[in-house]
Structure 1
Amino acid sequence: MIDLILSAVQAIMQVMTIVFIGATLAYYDYIDNDQQRWLSRLNMIFFTPCLLFTNIASVVSLEKLLDLWPIPAFYITFIFISWVLCQLLMPLFKVEMQHRRFVLACVLFSNTNSLPVAIMSGLAVSESGKSLYFYTDDTQATVSARGISYILFFGLFSNLLRWSYGFSLLRRTSKDEEEIVDVHTSDTFSQSNQNSYGSISATETSEKGTHRLIKKLMRTIQQSMSPPLLAAILAFLVGLCRPLKHLLYSKDSFLYGSLTHAIQSCGKASVPIVLICLGAQLKMIRETQATASHEIHKTVRATIFIRMFLAPLCAILSVFIFGCLGQPYLELAGDPVFLVAIIIAGCTPTSINLAQITQANRVFQDEMLHVLFWSYGVACIPVCIAVVFAALFIVKHLAT
């Protein structure tokens, strides 16, 4: 029990230590708001794409996509359950319409990288890690490596959706108002032309309608695109193309020791920068706690309740059903490392990367600050300990 508590506390402290450093730097005016936004923007444009490219391209392959198909299936299941929970509970919490996309983003996109990897690593080397042995030659090192690979593969799909749909959810809506003005102006101009030159033929109307539809589709795709998403797509292409992957990741390759290592080095800076920027915002906590509107409090309560309590319960139940029904047919269903890794990956708090998006877009910054503070500073440790105990209990129950 002590080992599990220490593992969870150490995983959280890894995050909070860097956050505290960021808060200290901001307190002594080494980082102001403009510098923080600039750093977040730079991180989103360059360092985060480097991190995603190295993590995805080095792990993904066609064989893994085929062998580990339950992982994307679980991710889709968790996303669907979280979406349904949001649609059902946001009206009950009386969350305003303009805040619902924020709640949706925070609930759908959890921390699938740093925190679950740290918890899995700590669990593997603890005394309880021996209960995760599945193969005859399993050791603490193999259990840790296998669990981390499952979590990273789960995180691939989270990264793709987070930097596309999640990015669009947290985008500023002022452009939408501009589009409405443009459409209104266009309609007025068209109407005046109709009055001046007569009616437009059905063929011309159809052509304009098709052109407008294509234009709207291209605008939607463009708004969903972001540098991290483009890097993730490129990484998938490299990972699925064996010659390209060998060229970049074979240790005998010239590019592995030059280009690949350079990208990896840049990617390692991404998470610390996110945490430093998050810590820089912490000096605003006292002010925002005092001046936060009632609407922000409702939004934060709904987000924390769904993301930290209801979603983990549904994730644990889903994995338990999979373990009970799938053991006779799938080897993965009998692997305790897989079951524990998926439970941990599905029960973590809101992704810290969302703070990076809100800072860069200058939207929902106060709400995100409150959500991350309550998620990581208050609820994370007890919830993570409860989740790990539940996962180990399920593994023990299924083994008997």
Structure 2
Amino acid sequence: MQSLAGTTEATPIWPLFQTVCSSITQVILVTISGYYLSRRGLLDKTTQKQLNIINVNFFTPCLLFSKVAFSLSPDKLRELWVIPIFFALVSGVSLVVAWLLGSLFRLDRTHRNFAMAAAMIMNSNSLPVALLQSLAVTVPGLQWDQDDTLDAIVGRAITYLLLCGTMGQFLRWSYGVHLLSKAVPPDETGPISPLLDDIRGRSQASRSFPGTFHTRPLSDTDVETTSASDSYLSPLDDGAPRPAWSRPPLTFVQRALRTGRSIWRNVTDFMTPPLWASVLSLVVALNQPLQNVLGVHLRPIRYAITQAGDCSIPLTLVVLGAYFHRPLDKSEFPPSEPNGQQKTSLVGRIRRIFRLGDTQLHAARAQNRAEGRTVFVSILARMVIAPALLLPLVVFGQLQGYPHVFRDLVLLLASPPALTLAQITQSTSDAFERLISRTIFWSYCLVAPPAMVGYALIAMLITRL
């Protein structure tokens, strides 16, 4: 009890709570602007999709490249070897916990996959960075040694989160997209948005590469034309089609080219623009001469990329706020009677209203219950159960004298779901709009403030072990 009391006295709770609320308020204000624009009719569904496509294909890759390419170095990556292990443990445990809870609460595949993605993809940028900076300024005892300075503490924390964020971008734009793309069955998605088409398949640029083959089913006309033309060919004619057994075997070079084309097609099918940006940023970060050229000698290019990247998060929040506005659907009203005549009797109107309302009410209640369970599973797995399972590992590492990074990354254990989930879910279908809106609202507005402050106190307790 004395240790807890001393930690509470040495750790000012009110500044921590202010920092968390300030970060969340910034998110809420930008989100409200998106809701207002949508309500005014300036941000309809088509505009939302177009903005999201532009964001995913341009602004988000610029953000990832600017944050990683000029901040990491080979020396930093060697010093932080434990970060990938920590990140893999947190992501894996969160994924398994969400899957188990989804099965326990009998979620269907769509909602279970969403819960798994929300639990696995955590916010490692805005909220944790602000909270760690506040901790470094207000909380004593975070120094690793006597020569440790405030700037070193803040820089170390940002480097941790930057590396975790880099791996998180790889995860969310690869497996996260794959997981959510499989979540919605084809008969429920309707027309696939252009963004998902770019993510699932090859882009237009990749389709123009030589060696990229496309096939189409033969029509009856094609079959008849082929049969008629083949009947006039002599068996000795060079133009006669040869059976497979009579074709000459492929040379080693031809087999290698065919294998290379197949591998390249698989890579382009898997890669997304943010994932390409992450790969290129790591190439620049690991190549110090190239990093120096882009960072020092080509500063206009660097600043242009940075300015474009700064638009990504605000644009994501604006589109996310537009999800909260649900315009009235005309299809919900009863159709008119034939010949333009409608029932004018009071009894007919009452019957029609109750019949329509009863059907819609049952459907809405079923959907709300499923979404409520999904949001509950997502937040419970991401911010409660997974941290509770991993905290003993952090305590063990502190007692055994393992790298301090385990202690410093406690806040990432309970970080809420990443805001970029709005981009990924928009790329699959409109079915996730209400779900991501409710998840962000509950996790950031209601659960995050007390949870993040509580885990900050736990981190301070661990430092005193």
Structures share fold, TM-score greater than 0.5: yes
Q: Counterpart of 2:461 in 1: which secondary structure?
A: helix
**Normalized per residue, which structure has more helix?**
1
Q: Label 1:99 to 1:285 Cα distance change in 2 as closer, same or farther (>3 A).
A: farther
CA distance in 1, matches of 2:262, 2:441: 38
Which amino acid is the alignment partner of residue 283 of structure 1?
H
2: CA distance, partners of 1:394 / 1:316: 10
Q: Which has the larger radius of gyration?
A: 2
Q: Cα–Cα, structure 1 residues 61 and 308, in superposed 2: closer, same or farther, change >3 Å?
A: same
CA gap of 1:212–1:343, structure 2 versus 1, over 3 A, is farther
SS in 2 for 1:159: helix
Aligned to 2:80: 68
Instruction: Report the count of equivalent residues.
Output: 370
Aligned counterpart, 1:391: 459
CA contact under 8 A between 2:323 and 2:434: conserved in structure 1?
A: no
- Structure-1 residue corresponding to 2:323: 281
- Structure 1 position 272, deviation (Å): 0.8
Structure 1 position 375 matched with structure 2 position 438: no
Alpha-carbon distance change, 242 to 385 in structure 1, aligned in 2, over 3 angstroms: same
Distance (Å, rounded) in 2 between the aligned partners of 1:48 and 1:267: 6
Kindly indicate whether the alpha-carbon contact (under 8 Å) linking 1:124 and 1:140 is maintained by their aligned counterparts in 2.
yes
Q: Give 3-state SS (helix, strand or coil) of 2:463's partner.
A: helix
- In terms of mean alpha carbon deviation, does 159-168 or 9-18 score higher? 9-18
CA distance in 1 between partners of 2:293 and 2:262 (Å): 39
From the superposition, tell whether residues 212 and 366 of structure 1 become closer, same or farther in structure 2 (CA, over 3 Å). farther
d(CA) in 2 for partners of 1:273, 1:395? 38
Deviations 1:41-89 (A, max 9, x none): 1111100000000111112222222111011110111122122213322
1:260 aligns with 2:302: yes
In the alignment, is the contact (CA less than 8 A) between 1:130 and 1:140 conserved in 2? no
What runs of 5+ residues in structure 1 fail to find an aligned partner?
A: 187-198, 205-210
Amino acid paired to 1:267: G
Q: CA deviation at 1:339?
A: 3.9
Structure 1 equivalent of residue 140 of structure 2: 130
Percent sequence identity is: 31
**Which residue matches 1:305?**
380
Give SS of 1:81's match: helix
Tell me, in whole angstroms, the C-alpha distance in 1 between the residues paired with 2:151 and 2:284. 28
Choose which of 114, 118, 125 in structure 1 pairs with 2:130.
118
Q: CA deviation at 1:24?
A: 2.4
Residue 27 of structure 2 corresponds to which residue in structure 1?
15
Partners of 1:315 and 1:347 within 8 A in 2? no
* Superposition TM-score, scaled by structure 2 size: 0.71
The C-alpha deviation readout for 1:203-242, integer Å capped at 9, x for no partner, is 99xxxxxx99999876653343110000000001111112
Change (3 A) 1:381 1:216: farther
Aligned CA distance change for structure 1 residues 216 and 110 (closer, same or farther; 3 Å): farther
Confirm whether residue 56 of structure 1 aligns to residue 68 of structure 2.
yes
Give, as a single letter, the amino acid of the residue that structure 1 aligns with 2:418.
S
In the TM superposition, residue 393 of structure 1 has moved relative to its aligned partner by 1.0
Rounded Cα–Cα distance in structure 1 between residues aligned with 2:143 and 2:22: 23
Alignment correspondent of 1:196: none
Worse-superposed segment, 83-92 or 103-112: 83-92
Q: Would the alpha carbon gap of residues 224 and 367 (structure 1) be closer, same or farther in structure 2, given more than 3 Å must change?
A: farther
Q: 1:24 to 1:84 in 2, by over 3 A?
A: same
Aligned equivalent of 1:270: 312
Q: CA RMSD in A?
A: 3.6
- Name the aligned partner's letter for residue 396 of structure 1: R
Quickly say closer, same or farther: Cα 1:20–1:131, change in 2 above 3 A.
farther
Q: Is the 8 A contact 1:315 1:343 kept in 2?
A: no
Which moves more between the two structures, 167-176 or 281-290? Answer: 281-290
Any unmatched runs of 5+ in structure 2? Answer: 1-12, 187-191, 202-213, 219-242, 249-256, 330-362
Cα distance change, pair 394–357 in 1 and its aligned pair in 2 (3 A): same
Q: TM-score, normalised by structure 1?
A: 0.81
The CA deviation string for residues 262-286 of structure 1, in whole angstroms up to 9 with x for no partner, is 1011111111111111112122399
The one-letter code matched in structure 1 to 2:315 is I
Q: Secondary structure at the match of 1:125?
A: helix
Alignment deviations for residues 83-132 of structure 1 (CA, whole Å, 9 cap, x no partner)? 22133222111111233221211111111111111111122222xx2221
Aligned residue type for 1:233: V
